[in-house]
C-alpha cells in the first residue's frame, strides 16, 4: 500500500500540518512508502513548505502507482480535499485535484481517505448553537433564548445539514476521525459517520525524566493566539514575584507591540527547525501551549504546563476563544484525579484570569504545582480506539492485506460500538 500526505492549514494555526505529518511518521515506521503528490503547476498550500518534521517521503508530480491500494491523510477532507460543489462556499479544496487524480489511478474502491478532524470538537448541534452564540459575544443569560429561537427557526437543522455537507460525510471512502480525550455519546448519535478516537501523539518525544532543579529554570511559550500579548505583562509579573530566575523563551507567528524585557527572556517570530524546537520544548521546565498539537506534545513529554488558546472581548465581555480543548482536558483531568487546585489554575489561566498569581505559584512550585502529576490523564476509550495512531495502522493493514474495499472498511470502522473493544 502507498500513503499520500495532503497537508494544509484549515484553521488559523499550523497544527493541521503537523497532525498530518505525525500520521505519516507512524505509517512510515510501519514500512509503508510515503509520497507527497502535487500535480504540476499546482502551488503548494500555504505554510506547507515550512521547516516541518517530515517523515521520509518521495515528492512527485507524476502518478506511477506501485501498489494496488492507497491511503491519503488530510485535515478536514471536506474543506481541504473535496471537489467543487454548487452553492455558497463551494470552491474546491487545495487538494481536490490531487484526490481526483489518485482515485483515477487506484480506483475509488482501493483509495481510502483518512480525514483528521478538529481535536475535541465533538459537540452536539445544540451545544454547537450555544457555543456559537457564546463565542459571538452573547451574554450567558441570553444564550438559552437564542438557542431556542435557532431551533424554532430551523437554524439548527440547517447547521446539521451544512456540517454533514462540508465534512463530506457522503463520501463512502472517507473515514472521519475525531480525536478527543473521551467519547461524546450525543455527538455519536447525531453524527454516526464520525469516528471518535483517542489522541494522535506526535511520536517525537520521550517522557521527561525528573532531574535536579536548575540554577535558572527555562520556560517555553508557544504564543500563537493574537491575544497572547495581552497576558504577557502579567506572565512576566508573576515570574518576577516568584523570586525564581526563570528564563522565558517566547515563540510567536506574529510580532508584538509590547517588548519582552531582555533580562526575562527572548522573543522570536523566526521559523525554527523541527529538531531544534523539539529539543527546546522537551528540555523546558514548564511549557505554555495552545491549540491541540502543542497541548498533546506537552502531555506526551510530561511535566508542568499551562494552556492559553486566546480570549476575545474585554472586561465583563471577555470570553475564551475555542475553549473546547481545555474543557475536554479539564474533564479528563477531573476523572483522572488531578487535584482541584491545579485544575482551577489551568482553567483560570485559559481564561486570562489570575495570570500573575498562577504563574507565580507555578514558578515557585507552590501547592499542587509542587506535585504536578507525571501522568496527567487516563484514556477514556476502549483499547481499539484509545490511540488514533494505532487505529490508523489497523486500518492501513486491513486495506493492504484484506480483500475488503475502502468503503467496506470505512463502514466497518464506523459500526464499531462506542463503548466496544
The rounded distance, in Å, linking the Cα atoms of 305 and 158 is: 39
Is a pLDDT exceeding 50 seen at residue 97? Answer: yes
Is a pLDDT exceeding 60 seen at residue 73? Answer: yes
Q: What is the per-residue pLDDT across 143-176, written as a single tens digit (0 to 9) for each?
A: 999 999 999 999 999 999 999 999 999 999 999 9
In a domain, 134, yes or no: no
Judge residue 372's burial from the number of C-beta atoms within 10 Å of its C-beta, 0-12 exposed, 13-18 middle, 19 or more buried: middle
In a domain, 130, yes or no: no
- One domain for residues 189 and 284: no
- One domain for residues 366 and 228: yes
| Residues 382, 383, 387, 391, Cα dihedral to 10° | -110
Q: Where are the alpha helices (DSSP H) in 247-318?
A: 274-283, 293-301
Total domain count, the chain: 2
Are 231 and 351 spatial neighbours (Cβ–Cβ below 8 Å)?
no
In a domain, 160, yes or no: no
For CA atoms 380, 297, 290, 22, give the dihedral sign: negative
In a domain, 127, yes or no: no
Least confident of 206-210, 221-225, 235-239: 206-210
- One domain for residues 242 and 391: no
In a domain, 212, yes or no: no
The rounded distance, in Å, linking the Cα atoms of 220 and 288 is: 6
Average predicted confidence (pLDDT) for the chain:
93
Least confident of 129-133, 150-154, 201-205: 201-205
Judge residue 39's burial from the number of C-beta atoms within 10 Å of its C-beta, 0-12 exposed, 13-18 middle, 19 or more buried: middle
Q: What is the per-residue pLDDT across 273-318, written as a single tens digit (0 to 9) for each?
A: 889 999 999 999 999 999 999 999 999 999 999 999 999 988 877 8
Percent of the chain's residues with pLDDT above 70: 97
- One domain for residues 365 and 396: no
Question: pLDDT at position 417, please?
Answer: 56
- One domain for residues 304 and 364: yes
Q: What is the DSSP letter of 94?
A: T
Question: pLDDT at position 249, please?
Answer: 98
Question: pLDDT at position 420, please?
Answer: 41
For CA atoms 26, 75, 15, 338, give the dihedral sign: negative
Question: pLDDT at position 208, please?
Answer: 59
Q: What is the per-residue pLDDT across 314-366, written as a single tens digit (0 to 9) for each?
A: 887 788 898 999 999 999 999 999 999 999 999 999 999 999 999 999 999 99
In a domain, 365, yes or no: yes
- One domain for residues 308 and 174: no
Q: Which domain holds residue 172?
A: 2-117+167-198+382-415
The rounded distance, in Å, linking the Cα atoms of 311 and 413 is: 37
- One domain for residues 36 and 177: yes
- One domain for residues 293 and 403: no
C-alpha cell at 215: 540554577
What CATH code is carried by the domain that includes residue 257?
3.40.50
Question: pLDDT at position 374, please?
Answer: 80
Are 94 and 80 spatial neighbours (Cβ–Cβ below 8 Å)?
yes
Are 69 and 108 spatial neighbours (Cβ–Cβ below 8 Å)?
no
In a domain, 210, yes or no: no
Amino acid at each position: 500500500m502507498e500513503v499520500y500526505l495532503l497537508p494544509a492549514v484549515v484553521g488559523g494555526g499550523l497544527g493541521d500540518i503537523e497532525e498530518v505529518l505525525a500520521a505519516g511518521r507512524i505509517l512510515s515506521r510501519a514500512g509503508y512508502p510515503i509520497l507527497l503528490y502535487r500535480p504540476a503547476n499546482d502551488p503548494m498550500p500555504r505554510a506547507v513548505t515550512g521547516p516541518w518534521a517530515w517523515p521520509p517521503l518521495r515528492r512527485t508530480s507524476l502518478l506511477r502507482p506501485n501498489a494496488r491500494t492507497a491511503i491519503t491523510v488530510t485535515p478536514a477532507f471536506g474543506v481541504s480535499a473535496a471537489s467543487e460543489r454548487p452553492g455558497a462556499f463551494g470552491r474546491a479544496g487545495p487538494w481536490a485535484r490531487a484526490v481526483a487524480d489518485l482515485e483515477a489511478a487506484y480506483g475509488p474502491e482501493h483509495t481510502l481517505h483518512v480525514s483528521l478532524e478538529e481535536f475535541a470538537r465533538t459537540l452536539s448541534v445544540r451545544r454547537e448553537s450555544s457555543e456559537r452564540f457564546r463565542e459571538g459575544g452573547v451574554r450567558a443569560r441570553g444564550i438559552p433564548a437564542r438557542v431556542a429561537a435557532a431551533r424554532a427557526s430551523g437554524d439548527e437543522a440547517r447547521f446539521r445539514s451544512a456540517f454533514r455537507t462540508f465534512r463530506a460525510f457522503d463520501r463512502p471512502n472517507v473515514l472521519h476521525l475525531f480525536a478527543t480525550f473521551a467519547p461524546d455519546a450525543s455527538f455519536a448519535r447525531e453524527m454516526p459517520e464520525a469516528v471518535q478516537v483517542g489522541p494522535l501523539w506526535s511520536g517525537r518525544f520521550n517522557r521527561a525524566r525528573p532531574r535536579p532543579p536548575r540554577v535558572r529554570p527555562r520556560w517555553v511559550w508557544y504564543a500563537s493566539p493574537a491575544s497572547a500579548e495581552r497576558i504577557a505583562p502579567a506572565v512576566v509579573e508573576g515570574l518576577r514575584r516568584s523570586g525564581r530566575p526563570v528564563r522565558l523563551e517566547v515563540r510567536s507567528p506574529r510580532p508584538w507591540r509590547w517588548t519582552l524585557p531582555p533580562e526575562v527572556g527572548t522573543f522570536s517570530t523566526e521559523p525554527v527547525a523541527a529538531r531544534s524546537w523539539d529539543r527546546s520544548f522537551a528540555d523546558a521546565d514548564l511549557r505554555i501551549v495552545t491549540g491541540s498539537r502543542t497541548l498533546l506534545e506537552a502531555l506526551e513529554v510530561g511535566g508542568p504546563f499551562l494552556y492559553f488558546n486566546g480570549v476575545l472581548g474585554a472586561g465583563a465581555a471577555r470570553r475564551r476563544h475555542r475553549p473546547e480543548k481545555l474543557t475536554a482536558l479539564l474533564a479528563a483531568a477531573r476523572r483522572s484525579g488531578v487535584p482541584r487546585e491545579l485544575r482551577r489554575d489551568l482553567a483560570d489561566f485559559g481564561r486570562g484570569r489570575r495570570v500573575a498569581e498562577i504563574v507565580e505559584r507555578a514558578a515557585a512550585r507552590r501547592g499542587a504545582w509542587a506535585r504536578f502529576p507525571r501522568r496527567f490523564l487516563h484514556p477514556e476509550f476502549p483499547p481499539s480506539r484509545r490511540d488514533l495512531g494505532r487505529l490508523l495502522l489497523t486500518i492501513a493493514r486491513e486495506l493492504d492485506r484484506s480483500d475488503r474495499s475502502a468503503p467496506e472498511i470505512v463502514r466497518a470502522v464506523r459500526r464499531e460500538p462506542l463503548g466496544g473493544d
